[in-house]
Structure 1
Amino acid sequence: MDAAPTATTVRTTCAYCGVGCGVLATPRADGGVTIAGDPEHPANFGRLCSKGSALGETLQMEGRLLHPTHHGVRTDWDTALDLVAERFSATIAEYGPDSVAFYVSGQLLTEDYYVANKLMKGFIGSANIDTNSRLCMASSVAGHRRAFGSDTVPGTYEDLELADLVVLVGSNLAWCHPVIYQRLAAAKAARPAMKVVLIDPRRTMTADIADLHLPIAADGDVALFAGLLPYLAEAGAIHCDYVAGHTEGFVAALKAARNLRLAEVAEATGLKRDLIERFYALFARHEKVVTVYSQGVNQSVCGTDKVNAILNCHLATGRIGRPGMGPFSITGQPNAMGGREVGGMANMLAAHMAIEDEPHRNIVRDFWDAPRLAERPGLKAVEMFEAVASGQIRAIWIMGTNPVVSMPDADAVARALAACPFVVVSDVVEKTDTLKYAAVAFPAAAWGEKDGTVTNSERRISRQRAFLPLPGEARPDWWAICAVARRMGFGPAFAYDSPAVIFAEHARLSAHANEGSRDFDIGGLAGLDEAQYDTLAPVQWPQPGQPRTNAAPAGPAMEAGSRFFADGRFYHADQRARFVPTPLKRRPDDARSAAAERMDGTGDERAGDERADSPRRSDDGLILNTGRVRDHWHTMTRTGLSARLSAHIAEPYAEINPADASRLGLAEADLVVVSSPRGQIVVRALVSERQRPGSVFVPMHWTGETSSKGRVDALVSPATDPVSGQPGLKSTSVHLRRFEAVWYGFAVTAERPDTAGLDYFAVARADGGYRLEMAGLSPLEEPSILAEKLSGVPKAAILAYHDEATGAHRFAAFAGERLVAALYLSREPVAVSRVWAAASLASRHAPRERFRLLAGRGGADRPDPGAIVCSCFSVGVNEISAAIVSGRAVSLDEVGKLLKAGTNCGSCRSEIKGIIDGARVERPASAI
């Protein structure tokens, strides 16, 4: 099974984004784990973001799924495994192999992914295995395959540091990939001539280092980059020799874009012409250009065309495969790349082979000795759950993901699972929105307990190593998959006894019948024994086992062993890249309406009352954009356990431009109903100039466990890109209205609060307990009853304050000197320091001090730090503001030296800079 835990420091890899940071984990005698960045890991060189730094705070056993269950009742592994194998086998026998499916996750390790894919495609005989990575980067895969003939990310992180121009498209790098953002920020500080362009509907924190921000309308990227191609031709920036010698289709692509003039680009993007011209000129002028793109490009119904429009510009200028230049897809999950390598998507085979390619199928069939290898693509994620709903799929195994929260039209996914005859879920958490539909639940090993490999966004394979014992009856995913496979009669093909053995087979397959004809080749790692696997250092692929023997290599060479396509050869049969025409498509659906949004201008590029060329919207609808916040991850099953990570943003919100808020009658901190034809949610209003007019941003992390109605993907259209099958999670038409609450409340409690009966709630961890936002649509007849319910203390023993005239009620309940609950009620959103109140749970309270809790603020001995800005060191806005106003610190570096804020992961530095700029206080002369 997995490697034994250890009491010494272990080198492992972070469990979060696709940066793939190295982590040093040191178990402590008290049962905790000390986490630090690995200074020797080439992805992060010791840096960690706020989430990575807090990994040790998320390893607790509270809420863990520790035993197999059948319909929620504990059972044993043998019974559960027998049942799953029996039900899957019986379903296949009666309805055929396409009646079953696996839905897997970028949280799986490569070894887990490999055996799941092998079982479904090679031995069950269906390609109905897909992954939540379909929601993240499928359009990038499709674009790569169309242009390069392979799913190859050509560059490295170093290219961002070497570039003279970095274009960030649909990527909030500062919050979603903070370590790479800090590498870029450091490079720009060292070379101020470097330019950074941010293309995003929101002026995110990443704009802090941007020389130019283009607040583009939803799905305007195709028009922007298609329009760039003829501009490059007219500017003389086309690399004619490269195009002629190494590509096909340039004339057709240019012809498709030739008539896309600046006025039409402006109309389709919602951008002012001068912004477009400034961006185009920067791109044409700089040879060393890296275009980094992420979910804002991929999560679209035209995402593949967006990717190819970007790739076309790099191919046309020959800016690919060389230091400091190239397109760069940065992934969202820790092992999205590893899943691609093993064929974890419904339209792929293992080792980057193509399921539609008969020679590739023969290679895999022969290598696996697979009796019934799938011969056609399976159902992609959205199609898969539609097939569950229709009864076409009658048994599904969901591994390490929460589709009832994360899939588009999420309520429809819930209904489909509720009606499915047999649902299996493997997870580490005993309560998720998806697990409630499971007939069988398997307790999976979590980060720190499991052993294997992951691959980051620059193709670097790193080890995740176990440093904790497996709790309860938790088991690695690969173990459970193989146990089911053996019970289904496929024993010899799944007789693995360790992840090292699986990895070795994966590596051998990558080199089998390859000879350079395929990009993914790690044959050089196929001979690792258990000890060598255990000590494997981070390594970037390809790693061929031996020099290629053919005189004329069948595939591209690598530049200095790290960059693909340096020699201008690609993986199409003729070794030439393909330009893909990306004509502007007129679409009447939700996403198309974004091109007609009003545009009042945002950010530094605003000029008086000048408007963009696109017409105003004629209704009150807005375009919904979904994404991540800085300190939380996916559906918060891990980050939600950390009070520190919940301190920055503890409640789901809708970020809306002031003009839209005024038009809709919404005020800061109001509760807002966001609705689409598929459902509605209730979130807090955040009124911000950073948000593009005509659009609204809502984060995707909140679940039915953490909020009453915060599952934003329940609103999202299930429409998908016709090539990649990736859903458009960022361009759904929605309407907003005020949630007509008659009372609002905030509470801190030592135990998880009972939220039953509340019209609105959002609950988050705090030091010593929980914090709870709430609101009601009907008056509270007796507020003290709610205080009694939340505290568990009889109301006669609860300290109380009432102001009937204003509707303010405040309560505090104690057990000895310990606060067990404090409750604040008001007719308006409650004005009380959340951070100060939450901190009171971990403090002792002498009787004479308890009335401070009713006041909602501390005295001079316990000043209110304000809303947390720096999660790494728990520094609040009031502390930063006080340092600035006093003149003790009036620059980023000085704030860092004084308070440590911004000196670890750096993802809060742009917020600190905003506080400094807002204060506009000069250092006193006496302090100079």
Structure 2
Amino acid sequence: MAVETKTTCPYCGVGCGVIARVDDDGAVSVKGDPDHPANLGRLCSKGSALAETIDLDGRLLHPEIDGRRAGWDEALDRVVQRFSAVITEHGPDAVAFYVSGQLLTEDYYVANKLMKGFIGSANIDTNSRLCMSSSVAGHRRAFGSDTVPGCYEDLELADLVVLTGSNLAWCHPVLYQRLAAAKAARPGMKVVVIDPRRTMTADIADLHLAIRPDGDVALFNGLLAHLAKTTAIDENYLAAHTEGFGEAFAAASGMSFPELMDRTGLGASELRQFFGLFERTEKTVTCYSQGVNQSSSGTDKVNAILNCHLATGRIGRPGMGPFSLTGQPNAMGGREVGGLANMLAAHMAIENAEDRDRVQRFWGSPTIADRPGLKAVDLFEAVAEGSIKALWIMATNPVVSMPDADAVEAAIKACPFVVVSDVLKTTDTARHAHVLLPSLGWGEKDGTVTNSERRISRQRSVLPAPGEARADWWQLSEVARRMDFSGFDYRSPAEVFDEHAALSAFENDGSRDFDIGDYAGLDREIYETLAPFQWPAPLNGSKAPASNPPLGGTKPDSARRFFANGGFYHPGGRARFVAVTPAETDRTNAEYPFTLNTGRIRDQWHTMTRTGKSARLSSHIAEPYAELHPRDAIDIGVGNAGLIEIASPHGKAIVRALITQRQARGNIFVPMHWNDQFAAKARVDALVPPLTDKFSGQPASKNVAVSARPFLASSYGFAVSVEKPVAPQADYWAIARAEGGWRAELAFAREVVDWPAWCRQTFALPSDVEPLGYADRQTGDLRLAFFDGDRLLAALFLAREPVAVARNWAVSQLSAEHGNLRKRFTLVAGRPGAGRPDPGATVCSCFSVGVNQIVGAVRKGCHSVEAVGETLNAGTNCGSCRAEIRGIIDGCLAAAAE
């Protein structure tokens, strides 16, 4: 009998509820949970494809020591022996943990407890440092605590939503759909998008401000100075609940309007329109994400935004407030347990002696870290310098995701002892581990996560643990016990959660924002059935654990938002305005004249270890690329679909050129997902310098000086194959999953002498299989196809220019039968016959709808996104492709009108 389990999506910080169904034959399917308050049944393309990412291909199923299989006892004893030896000889600060927002809260809690309370060092940091630590620092400066004041429903209740540094449509798609639905229901709602690029999110905008990179402090300072001259300032709120407004206003008003225009790159009318909207609209929400946080001035950007909301009293009430959108599914949970190097558990401060004493007494620990540890960038620099001699990396891939990634890889490779806990065996980081520990993945994990609106949800296991994989909290507890530390005898994640909840309430009495004491003391049965709920939920609060309602969130409205009536966490209970000034930036660099911006795309997640398994998710964008303006493309001499080499003083990358008017001149965007498992040289974070915000330690990934030039190739190629290509001998290659096998984009600086032999080696073909095909020396075209009976094994298409092959059609041939010679020659020609139309490049991943199909529907009279959806289903599931569909429709109608 099929079993359905309510769990949580493991991708972005929206924290969507998922219903996973396991059929009698073991087949898994997923759908959105209509009862979960975060998504109300919606899922994005990544969430919809979760069942396609849970196979065991590439899984790490057994512990390994120096590349050989080992048992758990031997592996854990090796970890304990080496860590203990380093601590004895060099002290606790010679070891470090680097953890992840992919961990569940229970895993995070045990890791933090072990390192800070028993090993006695704060050298535990997280990849969440890379995505939201500037928000943490800004919150703490303004509020006295790391508190996100609002709720998702505020986006729907607002009359003005400002999205700054947030490509909501691709990075938080379900929130984007909630916002789009609200705007459709209330056309008077206004949306402002602040982003150097015209992203897909701007499709919903009433106003798009193409701000200059790092112009945010200037923009929001200019807004504060404008507001101070109007009746929008809430003088009663200022007087009752804040301090420091005068200093903040003085700093903001020191900039002339022409200087504001110069620093932001915006025109006078754009600035006045934005300022007027904000001034006149009380119910305003400002959402900010990585475009704000990932900056050397990220914390000041956050405080510039918070200053505007505090000055107008637009905080903590329905439909208004600043809103930090976290990147990862459990970045918020990591903050709750002190997963950052400069925090303690339960939102307590490591620099506060009373907090340190409180946590140490609660844990009964022999010591407590008495100063902040090394933040991520500094941590890996310490590894490189040799002061950290033992490193444990959990559920993350820093060789791809850290700035100055090549230097990070060299540091890890040179570290005397490296432990990696992960689900995959061959990530760019795992290849340098001395000990590999197999962890549970999504569908196998059991615990809790917290989303961006402070909502705690259960992530439940729906599949048995494969091989010898074990939970991360179990691995950490075992190491702690073998180091003779008490207090780690957990038998289940429920026991860890109970301790976490109890610590949040310990000696609290309302003095700290994070309090879920109402959920301490749960028995395991209630923990198993726990429904989503928002904190705070203090002991003896508005509901008892046993009555945890199906939707959570039934608390009084005032209890679900913070700060409407003050109650800040600085001494005296007042918020603090922070006087900020724009950082000086050098915009002239003859050697590196372009500004690189990195980020996510719609259908991939982080370093692709999970989403890269899905053919459907790889069909939308199958290779790394660089967005650049048409004029810039002309200036550097690269054509559309040509290859481009991007370089900084730290590294180089080779990616496909995507020439688009959506990009501003002088700017280049490259996604951060591709790695050495999927491309030859596309780890874009290798180009990013280790420059960080001085308050938060967050790296600056959105404003990198780079050069760009064409990558000159003698031939370009496209290939499909049943087997995964093996280390292609090519100057450029990018591989992706495809239905029935794999697809590959290729480029060669020199001609290969023996192409059939190259194919046999690259595609693992039998030596006796002969190709069908042709070569044209005059044009440089070459076509080779290898068959085993009626089945296509591999096909290679070469040309002197980027290959004009119907790619989705070519991929489909891996699953087709090729029983007659005519069909085989059609394949070799690289284009479908008259009866087999090419769907074109995938636009809608959910339903595998291509651009040619959409164009065909438009030509038949489908002149709206809704009409296309009714005909093709495109855009009717997650909706992330709706902006692209609208763009195709507009392009077709414009062409028809010429």
Give the TM-score band, short-chain normalised: over 0.9
Q: Does 1:520 align with 2:514?
A: yes
| Aligned-partner Cα distance in 2 for 1:185–1:177 | 12
The equivalent of 1:610 in structure 2 is: none
Q: Does 1:917 align with 2:887?
A: no
The equivalent of 1:564 in structure 2 is: 562
Give the alignment partner of residue 510 of structure 1, picking from 496, 504, 512: 504
| Aligned-partner Cα distance in 1 for 2:695–2:205 | 32
Structure 2: runs of 5+ lacking an equivalent: 543-554
The equivalent of 1:763 in structure 2 is: 735
- 1:569 is displaced (CA, Å) by 1.8
| Aligned-partner Cα distance in 2 for 1:333–1:473 | 27
Q: Secondary structure at the match of 1:799?
A: strand
- 1:519 is displaced (CA, Å) by 0.2
Q: Does 1:18 align with 2:16?
A: no
Q: Does 1:891 align with 2:864?
A: yes
The equivalent of 1:552 in structure 2 is: none
Sort the Cα spacing of 1:796 and 1:94 in 2 relative to 1 into closer, same or farther, 3 A. closer
Q: Deviations over 1:571-617 (max 9, x none)?
A: 11110000000112224xxxx42xx6xxxxxxxxxxxxxxxxxxxx7
Check the 8 A contact 1:884/1:921 in 2, yes or no.
no
Give the alignment partner of residue 844 of structure 1, picking from 798, 801, 817: 817
Check the 8 A contact 2:592/2:705 in 1, yes or no.
no
| Aligned-partner Cα distance in 2 for 1:662–1:177 | 34
Give the alignment partner of residue 601 of structure 2, picking from 621, 629, 645: 629
Q: Does 1:163 align with 2:158?
A: yes
| Aligned-partner Cα distance in 1 for 2:475–2:456 | 24
Check the 8 A contact 1:895/1:901 in 2, yes or no.
yes
What pairs up with 1:427-576 in 2 under 5 angstroms?
427-490=422-485, 492-547=486-541, 559-576=557-574
Q: Does 1:586 align with 2:584?
A: yes
- 1:30 is displaced (CA, Å) by 3.3
Check the 8 A contact 1:231/1:280 in 2, yes or no.
yes
- 1:852 is displaced (CA, Å) by 1.2
- 1:861 is displaced (CA, Å) by 3.0
Q: Secondary structure at the match of 2:391?
A: strand
Structure 1: runs of 5+ lacking an equivalent: 1-5, 549-556, 597-616
| Aligned-partner Cα distance in 1 for 2:573–2:4 | 46
Q: Does 1:717 align with 2:689?
A: yes
- 1:168 is displaced (CA, Å) by 0.2
Aligned residues: 883
Q: Secondary structure at the match of 2:559?
A: coil
Q: Deviations over 1:15-50 (max 9, x none)?
A: 100000000001123332010000000000000000
| Aligned-partner Cα distance in 1 for 2:340–2:457 | 21
- 1:921 is displaced (CA, Å) by 6.9
Q: Does 1:858 align with 2:832?
A: yes
Give the alignment partner of residue 227 of structure 2, picking from 226, 229, 232: 232
| Aligned-partner Cα distance in 2 for 1:871–1:715 | 30
Q: Secondary structure at the match of 2:80?
A: helix
Q: Deviations over 1:702-745 (max 9, x none)?
A: 00111000000000010100000000011110000111111111
Could you tell me which amino acid in structure 2 is paired with residue 798 of structure 1?
P
What pairs up with 1:86-165 in 2 under 5 angstroms?
86-165=81-160
| Aligned-partner Cα distance in 2 for 1:763–1:756 | 9
The equivalent of 1:551 in structure 2 is: none
The equivalent of 1:775 in structure 2 is: 747
| Aligned-partner Cα distance in 1 for 2:179–2:561 | 19
Q: Secondary structure at the match of 2:56?
A: coil
Q: Secondary structure at the match of 1:256?
A: helix
Check the 8 A contact 1:524/1:544 in 2, yes or no.
yes
Q: Secondary structure at the match of 1:127?
A: coil
Check the 8 A contact 1:558/1:564 in 2, yes or no.
no
Q: Deviations over 1:765-808 (max 9, x none)?
A: 00110001111111222333323334414587211122111000
| Aligned-partner Cα distance in 2 for 1:409–1:332 | 21
Q: Does 1:326 align with 2:332?
A: no
TM-score calculated relative to the size of structure 1: 0.94
Check the 8 A contact 1:35/1:53 in 2, yes or no.
yes
- Fraction of identical pairs, as percent: 64
What pairs up with 1:189-200 in 2 under 5 angstroms?
189-200=184-195
Q: Secondary structure at the match of 2:279?
A: helix
Sort the Cα spacing of 1:911 and 1:324 in 2 relative to 1 into closer, same or farther, 3 A. same
| Aligned-partner Cα distance in 2 for 1:729–1:200 | 14
- 1:514 is displaced (CA, Å) by 0.2
| Aligned-partner Cα distance in 2 for 1:91–1:305 | 39
The equivalent of 2:244 in structure 1 is: 249
Q: Secondary structure at the match of 1:290?
A: strand
- 1:756 is displaced (CA, Å) by 3.8
The equivalent of 1:823 in structure 2 is: 796
| Aligned-partner Cα distance in 2 for 1:800–1:788 | 15
Could you tell me which amino acid in structure 2 is paired with residue 475 of structure 1?
R
| Aligned-partner Cα distance in 2 for 1:564–1:736 | 47
- 1:559 is displaced (CA, Å) by 4.1
Could you tell me which amino acid in structure 2 is paired with residue 676 of structure 1?
S
Q: Deviations over 1:166-214 (max 9, x none)?
A: 0000000000000000000000000001000000010000011100001
The equivalent of 1:874 in structure 2 is: 848
Q: Secondary structure at the match of 1:841?
A: coil
Give the alignment partner of residue 811 of structure 1, picking from 771, 784, 787: 784
Q: Secondary structure at the match of 1:197?
A: strand
Q: Deviations over 1:278-322 (max 9, x none)?
A: 111111110010000000000000000000000000000000010
| Aligned-partner Cα distance in 2 for 1:922–1:832 | 24
Q: Does 1:179 align with 2:174?
A: yes
Higher mean alpha-carbon deviation, 577-586 vs 302-311, is at: 577-586
- 1:152 is displaced (CA, Å) by 0.2
| Aligned-partner Cα distance in 1 for 2:24–2:662 | 46
Check the 8 A contact 2:171/2:601 in 1, yes or no.
yes
Q: Does 1:418 align with 2:413?
A: yes
Q: Deviations over 1:124-153 (max 9, x none)?
A: 000000000000000000000000000000
| Aligned-partner Cα distance in 2 for 1:59–1:427 | 14
| Aligned-partner Cα distance in 1 for 2:880–2:482 | 48
Q: Secondary structure at the match of 2:133?
A: helix
Check the 8 A contact 1:408/1:716 in 2, yes or no.
yes
Q: Does 1:678 align with 2:676?
A: no
| Aligned-partner Cα distance in 1 for 2:266–2:34 | 42
The equivalent of 1:750 in structure 2 is: 722
Q: Secondary structure at the match of 2:719?
A: strand
Q: Deviations over 1:365-384 (max 9, x none)?
A: 11001111001000000000
| Aligned-partner Cα distance in 2 for 1:256–1:923 | 53
The equivalent of 1:653 in structure 2 is: 625
| Aligned-partner Cα distance in 2 for 1:430–1:620 | 37
Q: Secondary structure at the match of 1:560?
A: helix
Q: Does 1:644 align with 2:616?
A: yes
